[in-house]
Amino acid sequence: MLSIIEQIKQGQLWDFPGGIHPPEQKTLSNRTAIAEAALPPKLVLPLKQHLGAIGDLLVSAGDKVKKGQMLTHTDVALSVPIHAPTSGTVIAIEQHTIAHPSGLSDRCIVIEPDGEETWTAKTPVANYHDASPADLIDHIRLHGIAGMGGAGFPAGRKLQSGLGKTEILILNAAECEPYITADDRLMQDHAEEVIKGIRILQHILQPKLTVIGIEDNKPEAIAALQAQVSEQDNIVIRVIPTKYPSGGEKQLIKVLTGKEVPSKGIPADIGIMMHNVGTAHAIKRAVVDGEPLIQRVVTVTGQTVKQPGNAWALLGTPVQFLLERFGFKADKKLPRVIMGGPMMGFTLPHTAVPVTKISNCILAPTRKEISPTTQEMACIRCTACAEACPVSLLPQQLQWYAKDEDYDKCEEYNLFDCIECGACAYVCPSEIPLVHYYRQAKAEIHHRKQDEINAERAKQRFEAKKARLERDKAERENRFKKAADNRRQEMKSSGGDDAVAAAIARVKAKQAAASPDTSTEKKPAVAAAIARAKAKQAAAQAAQSENTEALPDNTEMAKLREERKRQARERKAAKQAAEASSDLEAPASTGDAKKDAVAAAIARAKARKAAQQARATETEAAEPEKAEAEQADEPADDPKKAAVAAAIARAKARKAAQQARTTETEAAEPEKAEAEQADAPADDPKKAAVAAAIARAKARKAAQQARSTETEAAEPEKAEAEQADASANDPKRAAVAAAIVRAKARKAAQQARSTETEAAEPEKAEAEQADAPADDPKKAAVAAAIARAKARKAAQQARSTETEAAEPEKAEAEQADVPADDPKKAAVAAAIARAKARKAAKEAEQAGKNAPQNHEEN
């Protein structure tokens, strides 16, 4: 079986799937030789004119440059520098629109030519046969050679990838794109230089066979090349059928060798290297002549151009300048300029875009020559695009996924195998710009992958930094540990441990010496405070358990507090009395001693009433009660004084009963009648005392009737009575209890008086009665009779709602009739009187709330 090389030498050809035959239109520009373009007034050199990274700037605005001078420098293999196309001045380094389908701007160097064409020092290789491949590759890279077939891949990096493994070297001379004739004219006019460049490539790669693939529509170029090739060159010129896109790298390899480049692979993977004939010409100029890539052949064609042809254009020449050089006249209805051919080119945003290393054609067609793109329509699934695809892809599905931004599916359907030839879009009846979708999807995928690479690099840097910090920390800890060990060793050798131990012992001794002082200063005081607190707590608990049996002796303090409160009350009462006296306009003295005394008594009664109303809002009655109880402690040893206190309590109970009469407007006459009846026995003191006792019993009975609506008061009354009985043998306790009762009676009277506004008249009457001389037995009897009448009136009102209280009242009245000079019985009577007084006060309160309020002025 013949090898691939033998088959190629025998003239065997293969074919690739798909492909189309668009109108060529090459005869417009391939009939004339390559012209020399004039020097433009300004050159715009983009920093990026190739695949890969851009170099670092070596010049700045205002610098003078010479022709062929390096403007950027880089040590990266996938990058090439750019050189000054002519001598002149760098007037700016700025953003400018570049030759790219996106129409975006990029950083550019703007040079103003001086017209002198002054060359910088050239650096040719004297004899490339003696130079090593690595030196030649580096020389080619430094002279800015990039692939001139359209991809712009750095030639030096491409040659380096094929060193030692290239069996077949292919020169691409097919130039299948319609309208473009730059390579055709280059081979016709400079065939010798092209063949010399191929020989340099053969010297670097050492292939077993070199093949020039050229379409059969270029007979002049074929003849020119054959004239320069000799038998010892080991170069085969292979003419292939005209078919688009046979000029594609993978398609031409398939046609010439029958091999297929693997998906996502390169030709070097199968032992094949391919370069464009324009690249071979530039390599010859760089190696033999020492000239960097500063110009290239550009086809200017289209029916709007008066004299279409090819020209040597300096890199950076504005497209508008070239168009004017060949007589361009824009179409009136659809003016447009295309960079590249009609199949793979793109429309320029304006004609100020500069020529770059990969610009091989400027096409300015009319509207009829190349129909404008119409509105995109829906895919009809005709499969014409799939049949025309030279890579056997499914263009319609790739377009759906690209439009839907499903980039994973795009990669799954081998989007990156697409060579963007445009055959699918050319045959699409729906006029869908398929290549545009593919380019956009490729750019997005590249962008995302670059982000992932950057993220991975950042992660690696972070992990490396973290590891470095941990390593530094471990080293630092080890260093400190080692230093500490060294110090310990030194201290052991010099006896330093004893000194340290001695210092620690001294510190502990100081602490031990200081601690006893602290304990002696602080602990006794703390213990004493604790003991006092415990004693107080025990006393409080004992007092709580014994109730009234163990009372603290705070008599003096209570007296002082009570005295201050009494003085405050007197001052307040005096102030209110003064205000009342000013409002009431007391009558002046009439000269009659008796009338003057009555007026003074009325004034005193009003003053007492004002004081009592002020005390009605006081809720802290506990302290006054205790204080009064303590004050009453002094006369506790005198039974006679205890009896007097009980009598006073009974009098206050009668006063509380009198307050209930505030709702009675008809009591005046009965009182007078009873007073007249009581006047008969006024001369007998014994009878007067009996009458007073009866009155007291009736007052107690009225208080008991008030208890008929209060079912919860029985137990407190019994308890209080029992306490009073228990304390009857003890005169001191009896006196204390009587004092507490008096305080509570006062409080009840004040609360009852808070709702009484019409009490002026009874007070006047009582004041007049009280004004009589105390030593007149007759008047005293009259006053007692009046009091009894009022008590009976209060009892009658209470009896209106009580029908079942007769028997208890009689029993209590009989108990109350005991002589007042028995201390034990007096104490019991006082306790009973206090309980009844409380009930009477509550009943009076309820009656006062329901009674109408009568306001009278005296």
Structure tokens at 624: 């006054």
What separation in angstroms does the CA of 184 have from each of 224, 226, 435, 505, 716?
10, 14, 27, 104, 133
Task: Tell me if 257 sits within 8 A of 273, measured CB to CB.
Answer: no
Q: Is 418 annotated as a binding residue?
A: yes
Residue 386's Cβ-side half-sphere holds a number of Cα atoms within 13 Å equal to 12
What separation in angstroms does the CA of 358 have from each of 51, 149, 152?
10, 7, 6
Structure tokens at 365: 């067609």
| Strand-pair category, 72-73 with 88-97 | unpaired
Q: Is 421 annotated as a binding residue?
A: yes
Report the distance separating Cα 236 and Cα 9, nearest Å: 7
Is the bond into 245 cis (omega within 30 degrees of 0)? yes
- What is the residue whose two structure tokens read 């991975």? 456
Report the distance separating Cα 479 and Cα 481, nearest Å: 5
Q: Which residues, 6+ apart, have CB-to-CB distance to 31 below 8 Å?
A: 309
| Strand-pair category, 338-339 with 309-314 | unpaired
Task: Tell me if 201 sits within 8 A of 280, measured CB to CB.
Answer: yes
Q: Which residues, 6+ apart, have CB-to-CB distance to 5 below 8 Å?
A: 167, 168, 208, 209
Residue from 468, 415, 419, 459 nearest 18 by CA: 419
Could you write out the DSSP letters of every residue in 364-404? ---TTTSPPP----------HHHHH-TT---HHHHHHHHHT
CB atoms within 10 A of CB 103: 14
Q: Is 410 annotated as a binding residue?
A: no
Report the distance separating Cα 326 and Cα 337, nearest Å: 14
DSSP three-state, residue 431: coil
Q: Is 176 annotated as a binding residue?
A: no
Report the distance separating Cα 360 and Cα 782, nearest Å: 147
Residue from 96, 98, 246, 112 nearest 170 by CA: 246
Residue from 221, 218, 219 nearest 195 by CA: 221
Task: Tell me if 250 sits within 8 A of 391, measured CB to CB.
Answer: yes
One-letter amino acid at 246 equals S
For the chain, the C-alpha Rg in angstroms (whole number) is: 65
Structure tokens at 18: 């798909």
Q: Is 385 annotated as a binding residue?
A: yes
Report the distance separating Cα 675 and Cα 661, nearest Å: 17
Report the distance separating Cα 392 and Cα 539, nearest Å: 109
Structure tokens at 772: 């009589």
Task: Tell me if 652 sits within 8 A of 834, measured CB to CB.
Answer: no
Report the distance separating Cα 363 and Cα 319, nearest Å: 10
What separation in angstroms does the CA of 773 have from each of 122, 600, 682, 729, 779?
152, 14, 15, 37, 8
Report the distance separating Cα 766 and Cα 658, nearest Å: 11
CB atoms within 10 A of CB 219: 10
CA dihedral 591, 594, 597, 602 (to 10 degrees): -110
Q: Is 382 annotated as a binding residue?
A: yes
Binding residues: 379, 382, 385, 389, 418, 421, 424, 428
Binding residues for [4Fe-4S] cluster: 379, 382, 385, 389, 418, 421, 424, 428
